[in-house]
Chain A
């Protein structure tokens, strides 16, 4: 795992797997730093939130910055009351799990000026070519631009999280490498990681650069 900036923002199309990547990154970050938080800024989706992994965070001493209403039946777009800790507490290392699409990235606008001013951040676009509205580089770049426009902050890199859920095969991941390269070429941004479920990591670790194994947070029914 590469050295983290103080703030890592994870954005992308909804359903691209941002939350799963964010949760895994927070756990990795905790191995490098003492004071770590994961911030859930989703204002769109009431389900499948970082909060699902709250037990993991508590066990590992990771602070969860999250709306009181996340994963509750209260379906309102609310931000966490302690969200300013992200920019005010400079000793805190943070993974920000931003809501999906440009609508989710709207919540970033309030924090973006301070994040840019401090300039110790990485903003990663999580991409998945198996999602219907980001199947090729063009449509993915379109979503990227919409997010940047809504969030008032620009991407610095790409996380290729192309997957078909628990059914993902090593071939599915290999097939996505070319797509990620095209997104990289057209956006001028590096593919920082290609992520895979840890059960197929060994099949691929010598075939793909910067491969990052993830453990799946959501449980299949």
Chain B
């Protein structure tokens, strides 16, 4: 067992990335994720890696594109407004089938918004994140330990499917400190025969490009890409269930909202209300199976979110409208309290038991 260290969520991401063999980080500072860049700036030179503070988010994501083209592990991180700036690059990388890791430690929006936590980039992360038909694997940590674990997982999935993995955390996850064990089994990377590493006059040129001017060919590229996405959906959905076995009421929540909800569930159980939690760990692919399962047995579902109600749409699709789904939320940098969630549970139960 590895020794425990006390880390901020942002630091845990940075250290886990380095352990996963990422030696290239490009970014531009923005609260509440700046510690990722600060950690990389300190650590990368010591391990022979490259930390570069780009002149902008747009520059940073294009540097990621460049390194990804050579088949090396590479990442960038930002917070909500900065991710919007990167969206052109995200689309280009999808169009070029390049693996990379992008971290979004969300803050309240829209626009410049504030610097307090949010989950309002759910749509942006899970429904595309740029122009054109594409998907990103979206991972939602709910502890500092998971910030580290899902960073490693994110790199692995990105390599496996040649696509972008995004860590969708919120400001609380980035800033909170918890003991972490950084004891990972780092798998060997799949080969990257597509990488632009020089032909050595031994093979044909590799071309990494998202431009495709023949419509018939571009269509085929999209079809092939979506076949890969179907594999991801079939194989990679991750979730946690908490006290769902006998639950009449199901809470759907991820990240900090899931932690708050667990507190409320413990309290509600004391009052005799049978309530449980489904916590999606991958937001795309969305874990439909556990929701399909409870759709016939639960009498109500509550989606607890730090947004005006974004994941709730996927919850409704997954439960196929067989059960009423309501929203319990705070926005703009505010976090629902356990009391607020408990109130929503009692209401969904039709009053106190």
Q: A residues engaging B (CB < 8 A)? A: 14-15, 46-48, 73, 75, 128, 130-133, 135, 163-165, 167, 221
Contact = CB atoms under 8 A, between A and B. Distances in A.
Given A130-B5, A164-B6, A221 B179 contact: no
B176 A221 contact: yes
B11 A164 contact: no
A160 to B, nearest CB: 14
B256 interface: yes
Contacts of B31: 46, 75
Interface of A is mostly: loop
A132 B5 contact: yes
11 contacts: A46-B115, A73-B114, A73-B115, A75-B31, A75-B115, A164-B4, A165-B177, A165-B178, A165-B179, A167-B179, A221-B176
Interface string B266-282: 00000000000000000
Nearest to B114: A73
A75 B81 CA distance: 14
Interface string B163-180: 000000000100111110
A142 to B, nearest CB: 10
A45 to B, nearest CB: 9
Contacts of B172: 221
Interface of B: 4-8, 11, 15, 31-32, 35, 39, 42-43, 114-116, 172, 175-179, 256, 259-260, 333
Nearest to B335: A221
Contacts of A128: 6
Contact of A47 (B11, B32, B260): B32
A167 B145 CA distance: 14
Given A46-B31, A132-B11, A15 B115 contact: no
Given A46-B115, A73-B333, A132 B15 contact: yes
Contacts of B176: 221
Given A73-B115, A130-B4, 19 more contacts: A15-B177, A46-B115, A47-B32, A47-B175, A48-B175, A75-B115, A130-B6, A131-B6, A131-B7, A132-B11, A132-B15, A133-B43, A164-B4, A164-B5, A164-B6, A165-B177, A167-B179, A221-B172, A221-B256
A163 B116 contact: no
Nearest to A131: B6
A221 B259 contact: yes
A221 B116 CA distance: 15
Contacts of B333: 73
B262 to A, nearest CB: 11
B7 A132 contact: yes
A48 B174 CA distance: 13
Nearest to A133: B42
Nearest to A175: B3
Given A46-B115, A73-B115, A15 B175 contact: no
Contact of A135 (B5, B8, B177, B178): B5
B256 A15 contact: no
Contacts of A133: 39, 42-43
Contacts of B42: 133
B149 to A, nearest CB: 16
Contacts of A165: 6, 177-179
A31 to B, nearest CB: 29
A46 B117 CA distance: 13
A167 B35 CA distance: 23
Contacts of A131: 5-7
Nearest to B180: A132
